[in-house]
Amino acid sequence: MTDILVVDDDENMRTALCEALVRGGYSVDSAADADTGLRKIEVEKYRMVVSDIRMPRKSGMELLSDIKQSHPDISVVLVTAYGTVDTAVEAMRKGADDYLLKPFSADVLDKVVQRVLNGGAQADSAKAAPQRPSPAFKKPTSKERKIVTQNKKMLELLDMAERTAASKASVLIQGESGTGKELLARFIHQKSDRADGPFVAINCAALPETLLESELFGYEKGAFTGAAARKIGKFELADGGTILLDEITEMDINLQAKLLRVIQEKEVDRVGGSASVPVNVRVIATSNRKLEDAIRQGRFREDLYFRLNVIPLVIPSLRERPEDIGLLADYFLKKFSGDSGKQVSSIAPQTADALKKYAWNGNIRELENVMERAVLLCRGDMVMPGDLFLPSLPDTAQPVAAPEQQATGGTVEDMERKLIVGTLEKAGNNRTRAAEMLGISIRTLRNKLNTYKLESKGA
Ligand SMILES: Nc1ncnc2c1ncn2[C@@H]1O[C@H](COP(=O)(O)OP(=O)(O)OP(=O)(O)O)[C@@H](O)[C@H]1O
Ligand SMILES: [Mg+2]
């Protein structure tokens, strides 16, 4: 039995790691790439693997997956470059026992190795199903959908939402990205007498016009090439319940006319169908930009707006309700530490200050993501400011002008790529918000993400 296998393609790093570990009293072996490492694991028993993430051919992340599948009892610690926290988070999610951010001292290395090996030894006897990822890194499964707030405007809004839930009237929910529009829509559905019926959501920004039409209204067999069988649309699926039309301003103007007809006549026409199908559906629409602007620009039908806006609900941004920041942070802390089995019990006062000062352009979703990451990365039982990994921005709500990107040199593509990555970060990885900040449509943003092979998560 050897204690630790070090995997790193960089010879200097590999040697340094091995030496430090040997000095720490461990027996150590090493490999220059992931496949060699895997072969070694087949013939020798190791308690732990310390591997670099960035390696040619097979990455440390892939090595991690392989080890967790074939040898779930071996602990894995991944080494990642400073500033790539998202990669570290991903590694933890995939079952890594811990991570090391480069550069690190021998002291830190020793602490991490000790903790992982000790934790591992204790967990060994208790481990019922070693195949499963350790509970600490499971995605939160909590189904709870509580609307947490102590803001007066929000409380009034909730009151209004509850009172109108009973009616059949359409509802329009406006608010910036991540303010909780979908959450409120579900709340209304649950408080209505349709609560036992279906709740069907569709994002109007996600599909091109023709696809969106057949998604909404369905089609008959043979309606067009490729329509091999009848497809039931979302409106019919939502019969007896609620349909949520997310980002309604992104809907094409031609389709808006068809939607208006469905709402007025309470029946849908399947594409390629001859008879209308009656439906009993409550419509809730959301929009994160001013619908009035879209109307002025001729991109949104005024008659549809009046139809939808029977009950207007506008959710204030998180900036407009600072008293909710601490409350929500505590709520998410409990939720994620409960879900993850990790004992993170409080937020340090300096951390609470930092949370208060931050602009929260991505609103509650951004706060939720930040707290999830903080719980995951937190080393003690208290969240410290460093665990938040907030970009140190002046707390303005201004769109980014990204002056730091205006340095000479580098290609235009390069700069655009950087700008997109930076904006996504500032928008709390919210694509709709990022597109807004960049002044481009969400479709354009999506295309650019594809072109640059960027993922909005972890890019
Ligand atoms: N008041 C709140 N209390 C607890 N959780 C909240 C609250 N508001 C929002 N959330 C959580 O924040 C996240 C974002 O909310 P939601 O998806 O409803 O926002 P949205 O306005 O629909 O965003 P988008 O415009 O990006 O679609 C969700 O995980 C939701 O549960
Ligand atoms: Mg939404």
Q: Which of 142, 147, 189, 364 to mutate to test the pocket of ligand 1 (most atoms within 8 A of CB)?
A: 364
Domain 324-388 has CATH 1.10.8.60: yes
Q: Which of 157, 182, 286 to mutate to test the pocket of ligand 1 (most atoms within 8 A of CB)?
A: 182
Q: Which atom of ligand 1 lies at the shortest distance from residue 177's CA?
A: 25
Measured from the Cβ of residue 219, the count of other Cβ atoms closer than 10 Å reads 22
Residue spans of beta strands (DSSP E) within 261-306: 267-268, 277-278, 282-287
50 pocket-lining for ligand 1 (C-beta < 6 Å)? no
Return d(Cα 448, Cα 417) in angstroms, integer: 8
Q: For the whole prediction, is pTM greater than 0.75?
A: no
Q: Which residue has the higher pLDDT, 204 or 402?
A: 204
Nearest CA residue ID for atom 29, ligand 1: 365
Lowest pLDDT segment from 20-29, 108-117, 257-266, 432-441: 432-441
Domain 403-451 has CATH 2.30.31.70: no
Overall average pLDDT of the 435-454 stretch? 77
Nearest ligand to residue 182 Cα: 1
Return d(Cα 195, Cα 20) in angstroms, integer: 61
Distance of CA 195 from the midpoint of ligand 1 (Å): 20
Q: Where in the chain is the domain with CATH 1.10.10.60?
A: 403-451
In this predicted structure, what is the pLDDT of residue 393? 46
Q: Is the pLDDT of residue 143 over 80?
A: no
Q: pLDDT tier at 309 (50, 70, 90 boundaries)?
A: confident
Mark the residues whose beta carbon lies below 5 A from ion ligand 2: 182
Tokens of 425: 């970060």
Q: Where in the chain is the domain with CATH 3.40.50.2300?
A: 2-137
174 pocket-lining for ligand 1 (C-beta < 6 Å)? no
Domain 2-137 has CATH 3.40.50.2300: yes
Nearest CA residue ID for atom 25, ligand 1: 177
Distance of CA 437 from the midpoint of ligand 1 (Å): 19
Q: Where in the chain is the domain with CATH 3.40.50.300?
A: 152-314
Q: pLDDT tier at 360 (50, 70, 90 boundaries)?
A: very high
Q: Which CATH number fits domain 152-314: 3.40.50.2000, 3.40.50.300, 3.40.1010.10, 3.90.550.10?
A: 3.40.50.300
Q: Where in the chain is the domain with CATH 1.10.8.60?
A: 324-388
Phi, psi of 323 (to 5 degrees): -65, -15
367 pocket-lining for ligand 1 (C-beta < 6 Å)? no
The half-sphere exposure of 424 on its side-chain side, counting CA atoms within 13 A, is: 19
